[in-house]
Amino acid sequence: MRKCPNCKEEIIGRSDKKFCSPYCKSNYHYEHNKQKESSLFKQIDKQLKINRKILKNFNKAGKATIRKDKLLTEGFDPKYFTHYWKNAKGEVYLFCYEFGFLAKKDAKGIERFILVQWQPYMD
């Protein structure tokens, strides 16, 4: 009697079948790979998720302006983004999923980010 390495249930089917279901196969490999040394892909994915979370937290109304250093101290890294959008003025907003940012300097020379949320007209 063969047992599934993920859930320990009896395996029914082909003699070379190793898992009882596609879910168990996927879950087993996910858990197994989670324990491996972190890859570049995982590091990038982690930073993108951090960036998204920070942008979402500081942009509750759909548009906001915040000092660049405030986001950086929270763990935001502007080098990581998923896509970009260029407005009619030629300014390029960088996005982490549905939350975007644009680096600007104010009249006093302080670096700020303009935060926006993706809108249908941006397609």
Segment 70-92, tens digit of pLDDT: 999 999 999 999 999 999 999 99
Specify whether the CB–CB gap between 112 and 68 falls below 8 A: yes
Rounded to two decimals, the pTM is 0.68
Segment 25-74, tens digit of pLDDT: 999 998 887 777 667 778 888 999 999 999 999 999 989 999 999 999 99
- What is the spatial distance between Cα 92 and Cα 84, in angstroms, rounded to a whole number? 7
Q: Does residue 96 surpass a pLDDT of 90?
A: yes
SS (H, E, C) 6-50: CCCCECCCCCCCCCCCHHHHHHHHHHHHHCCCCCHHHHHHHHHHH
pLDDT at site 17: 94
Segment 2-37, tens digit of pLDDT: 999 999 999 999 989 999 999 999 999 988 877 776
pLDDT at site 80: 97
Confidence at 115, pLDDT banded by 50, 70, 90? very high
